[in-house]
């Protein structure tokens, strides 16, 4: 596998965890590496920006992920990803609205504290 790949070795690849132990044991090391190399999307490197947070809120936990890096997907895959994960959804709109409101309230609170410090 490529240096720095997400799954550098078939022993750590979740695909092989799903195989029954007797089947995995029958594969030679060469066969395991060949299968791992042939699996789609297994040779990606980690993005330079990879922020993942899990935030507890009331009785639920919400996750927040930011990934950024050079685009490596080809055009057909980009088109398929856009069809399966459209940007304009109710959830995304609600997230932007709530984020804007939180930022506005935080900024207003900061301005009120700043103004009260200047008055004293």
- Using one digit for the tens of pLDDT, what is the confidence trace for 9-20? 566 667 788 888
Q: Is 59 within a domain?
A: no
Residues 40 and 72: beta-carbon distance below 8 Å: no
Residue 93 lies in a domain: yes
Answer whether residue 113 is part of any domain: yes
Range of the domain at 116: 89-120
Helix (H, G, I), strand (E, B), or coil: what is residue 93?
A: helix
Cβ pair 71, 79 in contact under 8 A: no
User: For residue 43, is it within any domain?
Assistant: no
∠ CA 14-37-81, nearest 5°, is 70
Q: Burial of 30 by CB count in 10 Å (0-12 exposed, 13-18 middle, 19+ buried)?
A: exposed
- 118 falls within a domain: yes
Q: Does pTM top 0.85 for this prediction? A: no
Q: Is residue 95 part of a domain?
A: yes
| H or E element, residue 97 | helix 90-119
Task: Determine, yes or no, domain membership for 77.
Answer: no
| Each residue's pLDDT tens digit, 79-96 | 999 999 999 999 999 999
Domain count, the chain: 1
Residue 16: per-residue pLDDT = 80
User: Residue 10: which of 33, 41, 31 has the closest Cα?
Assistant: 33
Give the dihedral of Cα atoms 36, 38, 41, 47; nearest 10 deg: 60
Q: Looking at the domain assignment, is residue 72 inside a domain?
A: no
């Amino acid at each position: 596998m490529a240096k720095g790949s997400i799954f550098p070795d078939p022993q750590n690849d979740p695909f092989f965890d799903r195989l029954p132990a007797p089947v995995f044991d029958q594969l030679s090391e060469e066969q395991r590496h060949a299968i791992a190399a042939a699996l789609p999307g297994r040779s990606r490197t980690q993005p330079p920006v990879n922020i993942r947070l899990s935030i507890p809120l009331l009785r639920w936990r919400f996750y927040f992920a930011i990934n950024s890096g050079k685009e490596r997907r080809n055009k057909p895959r980009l088109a398929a990803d856009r069809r399966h994960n459209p940007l304009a959804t109710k959830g995304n709109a609600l997230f932007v609205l709530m984020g804007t409101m939180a930022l506005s309230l935080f900024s207003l609170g900061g301005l009120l504290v700043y103004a009260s410090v200047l008055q004293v």
